[in-house]
Every structure is written in structure tokens, then in C-alpha cells.
A = this chain, B = another copy of it.
Amino acid sequence: MVAHMNAEALRSTIASGEAWYFSRSRNALWRKGETSGQTQRVVEMRVDCDQDAVWIRVEQVGAACHTARRSCFYRKVNPGAGGDAELSFVEAERLFDPKTVYRK
């Protein structure tokens, strides 16, 4: 998954060892899984060369994706003729019914 962290989310993640993010649409700090139960324990955290991106390897409870897939990257881009592309599903099994976990 890809999500935004602000300074507070980064601090909370480092201090707690659980992944925290900042929702720009809801303008709110957010602990991953706090309502869904799909938490992430940080196993390793790295920063990139210009220190504006953070990569974390996590122990994922259940699914990272709100569609109930383990990863948000469950569709492959297949190049087609003339620069077109088609998507196909890969590792796209749902681990639960997302309606039972995500309500909005």
C-alpha cells in the first residue's frame, strides 16, 4: 500500500512500532487498522536518499487493502497493441468481505 505520513504520523510510527498515517482527505492522523483491525507491525523502516519517502516492511494482520486484498497492488498492467494496456488480477483473493469491515 501507499499512504501519506505527516511528521506526527512518522513520530507515532517510530515510537509505537505500529504504522500510523495521515489522511489528507479526512485531515486526520490514523493508526492503520484502528477501526478495521488490519494493523501493521513495523519490521523494518527505511528512508530514501532525499528523505521524503519512507518504506516500511510490516507484519500485516489480515489485509492491507480496503478491498480486503493482502496488497493494494492486485492488478497487473499488460501492455497491448498501440500503447494500450489491459489490467489483469494477480494475488487478488479477498481475505474477508470488505463490507463487514469497512462501512463507508
Q: Which A residues are closer than 8 A to B by beta carbons? A: 1-2, 11, 14-15, 17, 44-50, 53-55, 65-67, 69, 72-77, 79, 83, 85, 87, 90
Contacts and interface: CB of A to CB of B under 8 A. Distances in A.
Nearest to A78: B45
A1 B46 CA distance: 12
Given A47-B75, A53-B73, 15 more contacts: A11-B83, A14-B83, A14-B85, A15-B79, A15-B83, A17-B79, A44-B76, A45-B77, A46-B76, A47-B73, A48-B72, A48-B73, A49-B67, A49-B69, A49-B74
Nearest to A55: B73
A28 to B, nearest CB: 18
Nearest to A83: B15
A97 B74 CA distance: 38
